[in-house]
Amino acid sequence: MIIDWRDIDTVLLDMDGTLLDLNFDNYFWLEYLPQRYAQTFDMDADEARAMINQKTAALEGTLEWYSTTYWSEALGIDVVALKHEVRHLVQELPYCHEFLDGLKHAGKDIVMVTNAHHDSLNLKMDKTGLAHKFDKLITVHEFSLPKEDIRCWDEVQKRHRFDPARTLLIDDNLHVLKSAQRYGIAHLLAIYRPDTKAPIKDVEHFKALHSFDEILPVEPSQP
């Protein structure tokens, strides 16, 4: 087994690329937004794509990179409204519901910690109906520190206490996993294919999942 559930009390879970298929976000930023931007400002779609890619690449890993408010202002277009136009593409990764239900049945503390902006979190929770499966939903925009910053985990602690030695974090972002590792979170898992339409990614030295059915809790924790 990759995980011995007897060692875990708290499970911290990322949203995009971990519980939800990252294909939605990749499609939106690489295809749909450039198309709609080009239509709105009467320009070539490839030119719009290159411009948006350049702007986003310059801020990758920062809080602004994840902020729909920032990009709406920077691009002069309502990013949230455009996301709603393609919200039907938001999909859970395989065995997402079964995994969350298994964690609840096993008595684990289940916390989402996402870099996504409140607008994106709300859109995706409304679409998937997953919110009620968590003990706590945390977006880092509450405290303005992305998960790539080690100080983020102290802020998470303030909102929902956890013992790093008995905590599992599952995240598709390797920079986030490295930040959590430096903080002392003992159990870490990456995701091999956060975007189901993209190739398997290099997870470096981290253990990783192909699917949540590999680690489904099978029985409740013993008292």
pLDDT digits (tens, 9 = 90+) for 93-113: 999 999 999 999 999 999 999
- The pLDDT score that the predictor gives to residue 61 is 86
Angstrom distance (rounded) from CA 68 to CA 23: 18
The stretch 127-136 carries a mean pLDDT of 97
- The pLDDT score that the predictor gives to residue 2 is 82
* Spacing of C-alpha 199 from chain mean position: 18
Q: 């939106």: which residue's tokens?
A: 28
The stretch 166-178 carries a mean pLDDT of 98
- The pLDDT score that the predictor gives to residue 219 is 53
The stretch 117-140 carries a mean pLDDT of 97
Q: How many CA atoms lie within 13 A of 169 on its CB side?
A: 28
- From the list 7, 44, 126, 202, the catalytic residue is 7
Q: Return the beta strands (E) in the chain as ranges.
A: 10-13, 109-114, 136-139, 167-170, 187-191, 208-209
- 49-99 residue pLDDT tens: 999 999 999 999 899 999 999 999 999 999 999 999 999 999 999 999 999
| CA-based nearest residue to 101, from 91, 110, 113, 112 | 110
Token couple for 34: 């450039």
Q: State the DSSP H helix or E strand holding residue 40, giving kind and residue range, or none if neither.
A: helix 33-41
Is the CA virtual torsion 68, 69, 71, 77 positive or negative?
Answer: positive
Sheet of strand 187-191: strand arrangement:
136-139, 109-114, 10-13, 167-170, 187-191, 208-209
Backbone dihedral angles phi then psi of residue 113, each to the nearest 5 degrees: -125, 110
If you average pLDDT over every residue of the chain, what do you get?
Answer: 95
Count Cβ atoms below 10 Å from residue 23 Cβ, excluding itself.
Answer: 20
Model confidence at 222, in pLDDT bands (50, 70, 90)?
very low
pLDDT of 221 > 50? The answer is no
- The pLDDT score that the predictor gives to residue 145 is 94
Count Cβ atoms below 10 Å from residue 62 Cβ, excluding itself.
Answer: 14
pLDDT of 220 > 50? The answer is no
Angstrom distance (rounded) from CA 101 to CA 98: 5
14 is catalytic: no
Question: Between the CA atoms of 69, 75, 76 and 77, what dihedral angle is there, to the nearest 10 degrees?
Answer: -70
Model confidence at 223, in pLDDT bands (50, 70, 90)?
very low
- The pLDDT score that the predictor gives to residue 122 is 97
Model confidence at 218, in pLDDT bands (50, 70, 90)?
low
Angstrom distance (rounded) from CA 19 to CA 213: 12
Token couple for 126: 């409304």
For the whole model, what pTM was predicted? 0.94
- 12-46 residue pLDDT tens: 999 999 999 999 999 999 999 999 999 999 999 99
